[in-house]
Amino acid sequence: MIHALDWRFWMTLVQLRHFVVLAELGAFVQAAKALYLTQPALTRSIQALEDELGGRLFDRLGRRIALTPFGAEVLQRARRLVADAESLKQTGKGLHAGLIGTLRIGLSSGPGALLSTPLMLHMAGQHPKLQLQISRGNTAVLIDALREQRLDAAVLDLRSVRPAADLEIAQTFELAAGFLVRPEHPLMQLGRPVGIEDVLAYPVASTPLSDEVARLLIGRYGPQANPDDMVTLRSDETMNIVEVARRSDAIVLTANAAAQGLVPLDMASKLDATASFGLVTLGQRQEAPALRILREWLSGWIGQNASA
């Protein structure tokens, strides 16, 4: 019986497909044409399958054929196997094209505030079968996850990324950054440019700042602008400090684009700072196919939002 058969690897899907087409068309001539084979080649394929299965699949009735009881039982299994193989083939194509599967992306604080929602909206609308997993964290944690291959890529604050031979950085972009407040903030009512002394009269909120940014602040505004002393509200999450600034007189130091609802202070001495971000991947590793979709979307986002 069919359940006792040992379906070994020698039973090729090609032979099974030949068998299914022949059973459906009922004649070697028509089946050979449909399969783009010669009739002798199709005959040899079916005979080889019968030899492997240990029983006749068809009764030959002149020019016509009819399934044997054994062949009818095999046909049910063969159809499922051929259909499963075609489904697997389409799955493979979809995975290779990045249209299905899973994409695991890390976003540090600034990129998380900027990209999380628009990226999810894009994936939901354009690639609903692709599973997007976004991980949030500081740069060091996300780089560790990247090296442990728990992430496919990460968009990070590049000033916090230490140079390393195993990391590849692409699609870098910069965004204007500075001191931002809610539009009704008292400093917005002064009618003049604001000095650092004015800023220090209020709580200052920020994510952890790189040494490069700290040097820029001290060089522009003096030792009193050292982030270790100036920043009184610290969080790894940009969205948290932005929300605090929306609801209080706190001043936030971040990328302008990450602070919706806030406005930049008119500083007497311009900071002229930028936040620098980029897509970081692990070198010497084959990329996830769906990463192509992220690269294309990120290029469009950068074109619309990044500083010239």
How far apart are alpha carbons 231 and 205 in whole angstroms?
Answer: 6
How far apart are alpha carbons 221 and 225 in whole angstroms?
Answer: 6
Residue 92: pLDDT over 50: yes
Q: How much is the pTM?
A: 0.66
Residue 182: pLDDT over 60: yes
Task: Report pLDDT for 129.
Answer: 84
User: Tokens 């684009």 belong to which residue?
Assistant: 257
User: Tokens 């964290």 belong to which residue?
Assistant: 137
User: Tokens 């499922």 belong to which residue?
Assistant: 80
Task: Report pLDDT for 88.
Answer: 63
C-beta separation of 137 from 272 below 8 A? no
What H or E segment, with its residue span, contains residue 263? strand 263-264
In tens, the pLDDT along 204-255 reads 999 988 888 899 999 999 999 999 999 999 998 899 999 999 999 999 999 9
Residue 133: pLDDT over 60: yes
Q: Give the three-state DSSP class for 279.
A: strand
Q: Kindly report the backbone phi and psi dihedral angles of residue 291, in degrees, each rounded to the nearest multiple of 5, phi listed first.
A: -65, -25
DSSP annotation of 153: E
Average pLDDT over residues 104-133: 91
How far apart are alpha carbons 35 and 251 in whole angstroms?
Answer: 72
DSSP annotation of 99: S
What is the share, in percent, of the chain residues with pLDDT greater than 90?
Answer: 51
- Residue 4 exposure: Cα atoms within 13 Å on the Cβ side: 4
Would you list the domain boundaries of the chain?
A: 2-96, 101-305
The first and second tokens of residue 213, run together, are: 């940014």
Which CATH architecture does the domain made up of 101-305 adopt?
Answer: 3-Layer(aba) Sandwich (3.40)
Top-confidence range, 69-83, 243-257, 277-291: 243-257
In tens, the pLDDT along 44-60 reads 999 988 888 888 999 88
Q: What is the mean pLDDT of the chain?
A: 87
pLDDT band at 87 (very low <50, low <70, confident <90, very high): low
Beta bridge partners of 278: 156
Q: Give the three-state DSSP class for 166.
A: coil
Beta bridge partners of 281: 168
How far apart are alpha carbons 151 and 280 in whole angstroms?
Answer: 10
Neighbour tally for 221: CB within 10 Å: 20
Q: CATH number of the domain at 2-96, out of 3.30.1370.110, 3.30.830.10, 1.10.10.10, 3.40.50.10320?
A: 1.10.10.10
How far apart are alpha carbons 69 and 58 in whole angstroms?
Answer: 9
